[in-house]
């Protein structure tokens, strides 16, 4: 089958200038709103509607309001000074009011509104000085042309240099180009939801008659949002199938090494950990490639689960690699895993950009000879000269922003490596499906036994000295604390000053040698040394910018002070709080804020006080901030949807995923009638990469 775009779609993918009223200048302006083809206009829906239905009189209306009414022109009052208002007095059936124009030429108004004539005027009517007035009516028409005024006028999002009139005319012209399409949605689903067909949905969405028609829940809109999500999930399902078709390696283990490690632990794994371990070992033993996401809350024990998977690879005669986003984290993984590796009798090594010369050469030689079982490292692990004897499993720590595209690339390298991606931040289900819909997911939703809840308190910045005094007492009891400084967006230089000032202040209050400092601008070696001092308990307080947000594990640290907590996002605060509460001591997280708090900031801090459930916090974060902000769309491989709204239409995403997977099961080549229609949808939504996956696959 040819993979070219179907000819029926050519008119929608032509240049935008082929639409009436769109010249080079307007085409250039529309480009700023990512509208370069008629197809883009179809998916740019109005966000509001203006009711232009005429009323007999303005008497009794609640103002301000958009009003359309027939009037008789009574008289003109020209502007008294240059650029001042010119007024035209008019009367409807019952009442007089004025039309106001600024910078108007007298002759123009006389021509448009000759005294004694009847006109239909439509525009925003408001009260001014006790009387009603309409400034610059949107429409002025003779009564015999009343039919030209639509009863409802769609309001489009505009970009500089493009008017509503131009947008409306161009959108209408794009709608005239709609091709005949077959249905790609499952018939039972469409009937259940009462959705119109695709072309009808577009026509209705572009012709709203009340504000409810512009809501995401309106049937036409919901249908179009679903189409977008369905196309996206179809692409992910095809990517997933592609990965699964690639020959994997059968990595079978009896769990011998895992049992040694479990026996050495002072606690038993949680039910969720055991479930995830068995899902992963089953995947490893299957002949297809594993592509799994391990998602868990702060401290749910992801590292142990990942290590068990790595041991399975080693027991089967292969090797495993664990990639961390930063050197600090890679070293920390190494420290945390070393006793477990020792219990299993497996050689564990680290490789980072800092390994040089003979030392690096020796590690590389041991790696290719198979003498190293598990390698922990930064992205240096994937450099050209790093060769494994038999790499079976790669565990990727998600801070890498390992998007769908990168996963497809890793697969394209052809090495039959199983991939386990760990994410440290719980992701709401709808976002997890959007970002990781091509993967199988294991969720750790239980906390290991013995982890005590963290007491969370809020305090105004003005009480800083009290906090320092409290801290001094806690240190005397042998406790350790993190002190996180705010991120000042304007410049890294300011951040640095904030952290250094606080460091000096605390050092003066608590004593020399008690306080350490870590921030983003430090050379790696200094940063590592400061962390090592804190881990070993040589320093008791660590002043830091958010470099400690992820993964740092110091069980003795039981106090977390976050300055200007209102400047952080919910997920970030939750991650920071998760750095304490790792030992047996009662832990406290103190959030200092600058009063007065905005409503949103107050809500964020309140949610954290009420809940330690990362998944609930993530859902709230999504509701408050929206998908794009929550994960920084640009670098996350997260799709940008034109119509679908992930916050309000989360439920549709799950339906789209199961529907896409079901369609591919029934019609793997998308060659049946619904499959062919789905191919058309993939073209329409610019997901043609997926079509190549079918035809190549």
Structural domains of the chain, ranges and CATH numbers in brackets: 65-149 (2.40.50.140), 256-444 (3.40.50.300), 454-611 (3.40.50.300)
| 605-609: long-range pairs with CB below 8 Å, 24+ | 605/458, 605/565, 605/566, 605/573, 607/570, 608/456, 608/570, 608/573, 608/574, 608/577, 609/456, 609/457, 609/458
d(CA 489, CA 96): 55
Residue 665 predicted with pLDDT over 80: yes
What are the backbone angles phi and psi of residue 272, rounded to the nearest 5°?
Answer: -65, -40
Q: Which two tokens stand for residue 366?
A: 């041991």
Q: What is the pLDDT of residue 280?
A: 94
8 Å CB contact between 118 and 146: no
**pLDDT tier, 633 (very low <50, low <70, confident <90, very high otherwise):** very low
d(CA 569, CA 579): 16
Q: What is the pLDDT of residue 521?
A: 75
Q: Tens digit of pLDDT for each residue in 467-491?
A: 999 999 999 888 899 999 876 544 5
As a whole number, mean pLDDT of residues 178-203 equals 94
Please, where are the H alpha helices in 584-669? Answer: 599-610, 614-625, 627-631, 633-636, 650-666
Burial 111-130 (b: 16+ CB within 10 A, else e): ebbeeeeebbbbbbbeeeee
8 Å CB contact between 663 and 183: no
pTM: 0.67
d(CA 154, CA 516): 60
Q: Tens digit of pLDDT for each residue in 369-414?
A: 999 999 998 877 777 778 888 889 988 876 545 555 555 555 444 4
The percentage of residues in the chain with a pLDDT greater than 70, rounded to a whole number, is 90
Looking at residue 454, what DSSP letter applies? E
The percentage of residues in the chain with a pLDDT greater than 90, rounded to a whole number, is 39
Measured between its terminal Cα atoms, the distance across the chain in Å is 12
Highest mean pLDDT among 140-144, 244-248, 492-496, 551-555: 140-144
| 597-601: long-range pairs with CB below 8 Å, 24+ | 597/566, 598/566, 600/624, 601/566
Residue 430: CB partners within 8 Å, gap ≥ 6?
A: 622, 646, 649, 650, 651, 653, 654
Residue 129: CB partners within 8 Å, gap ≥ 6?
A: none
Burial class (CB in 10 A: 0-12, 13-18, 19+), 522: middle
Residue 106 predicted with pLDDT over 70: no
Bridge-based pairing of strands 454-460 and 587-593 is parallel
- Average pLDDT over the chain reads 84
Q: What is the pLDDT of residue 191?
A: 94
Least confident of 75-79, 104-108, 209-213, 334-338: 104-108
d(CA 641, CA 669): 26
Bridge-based pairing of strands 48-51 and 65-77 is unpaired
Q: Is the peptide bond before 64 cis (omega within 30 degrees of 0)?
A: yes
């Amino acid at each position: 089958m040819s993979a070219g775009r179907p000819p029926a779609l050519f008119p929608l993918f032509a240049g935008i200038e082929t639409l009436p009223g769109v010249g080079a200048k307007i085409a250039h302006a529309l480009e700023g709103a990512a509208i370069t083809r008629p197809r883009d206009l179809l998916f740019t829906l109005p966000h509001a509607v203006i009711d232009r239905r005429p009323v007999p009189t303005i008497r009794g209306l609640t103002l301000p309001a958009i009003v359309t009414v027939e009037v008789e022109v009574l008289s003109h009052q020209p502007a008294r000074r240059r650029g001042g208002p010119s007024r035209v007095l008019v009367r409807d059936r019952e009442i007089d009011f004025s039309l106001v124009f600024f910078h108007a030429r007298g002759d123009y108004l006389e021509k448009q509104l000759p005294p004694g004539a009847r006109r239909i005027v439509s525009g925003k009517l408001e009260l001014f000085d006790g009387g009603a007035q309409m400034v610059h009516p949107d429409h002025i028409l003779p009564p015999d042309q009343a039919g030209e005024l639509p009863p409802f006028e769609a309001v489009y999002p505009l970009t500089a240099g493009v008017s509503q009139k131009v947008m409306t005319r161009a959108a209408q012209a794009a709608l005239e180009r709609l091709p005949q399409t077959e249905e790609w949605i499952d018939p039972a689903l469409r009937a259940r939801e009462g959705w119109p067909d695709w072309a009808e949905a577009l026509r209705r969405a572009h012709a709203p008659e009340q504000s409810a028609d512009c809501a995401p829940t309106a049937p036409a809109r919901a249908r179009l949002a679903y189409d977008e999500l369905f196309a996206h999930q179809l692409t992910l399902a095809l990517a997933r199938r592609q990965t699964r078709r690639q020959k994997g390696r059968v990595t079978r283990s009896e769990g011998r090494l895992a049992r040694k490690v479990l026996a050495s632990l002072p606690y038993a794994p949680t039910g969720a950990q055991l479930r995830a371990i068995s899902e992963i070992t089953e995947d490893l033993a299957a002949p297809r490639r594993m592509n799994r996401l391990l998602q868990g809350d702060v401290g749910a024990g992801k590292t142990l689960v990942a290590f068990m998977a790595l041991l399975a690879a080693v027991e089967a005669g292969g090797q495993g690699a664990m990639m961390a986003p930063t050197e600090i984290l890679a070293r920390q993984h190494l420290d945390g895993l070393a006793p477990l590796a020792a219990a299993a009798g497996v050689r564990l090594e680290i490789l980072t950009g800092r390994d040089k010369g003979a030392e690096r050469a020796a590690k590389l030689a041991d790696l290719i000879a198979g003498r190293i079982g598990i390698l922990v490292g930064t992205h240096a692990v994937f450099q050209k000269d790093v060769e494994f004897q038999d790499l079976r499993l790669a565990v990727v720590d998600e801070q890498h922003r390992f998007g769908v595209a990168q996963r497809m690339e890793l697969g394209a390298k052809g090495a039959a490596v199983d991939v386990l991606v760990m994410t440290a931040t719980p992701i709401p289900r709808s976002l997890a499906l959007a970002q990781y819909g091509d993967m199988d997911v294991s969720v750790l939703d239980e906390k290991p036994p013995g982890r005590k809840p963290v007491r969370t308190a809020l305090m105004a910045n003005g009480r800083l000295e009290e906090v320092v005094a409290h801290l001094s007492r806690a240190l005397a009891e042998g406790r350790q604390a993190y002190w996180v400084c705010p991120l000042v967006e304007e410049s890294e230089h300011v951040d640095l000053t904030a952290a250094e000032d606080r460091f000096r202040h605390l050092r003066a209050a608590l004593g020399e040698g008690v306080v350490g400092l870590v921030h983003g601008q430090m050379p790696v070696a200094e940063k590592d040394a400061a962390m090592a001092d804190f881990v070993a308990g040589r320093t008791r307080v660590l002043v830091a910018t958010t470099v400690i947000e992820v993964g740092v594990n110091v069980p003795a640290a039981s106090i977390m002070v976050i300055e200007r907590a209102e400047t952080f996002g919910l997920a970030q605060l939750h991650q920071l709080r998760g750095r304490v509460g790792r030992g047996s001591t009662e832990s406290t997280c103190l959030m200092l804020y600058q009063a007065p708090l905005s409503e949103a900031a107050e809500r964020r801090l309140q949610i954290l006080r009420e809940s330690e459930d990362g998944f609930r916090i993530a859902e709230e974060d999504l509701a408050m901030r929206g998908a794009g902000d929550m994960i920084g769309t640009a670098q996350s491989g997260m799709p940008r949807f034109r119509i679908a709204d992930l916050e309000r239409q989360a439920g549709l995403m799950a339906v789209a995923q199961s529907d896409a997977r079901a369609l591919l099961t029934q019609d793997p080549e998308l060659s049946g009638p619904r499959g062919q229609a789905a191919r058309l949808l993939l073209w329409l939504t610019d997901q043609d990469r997926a079509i190549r996956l079918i035809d190549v696959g």
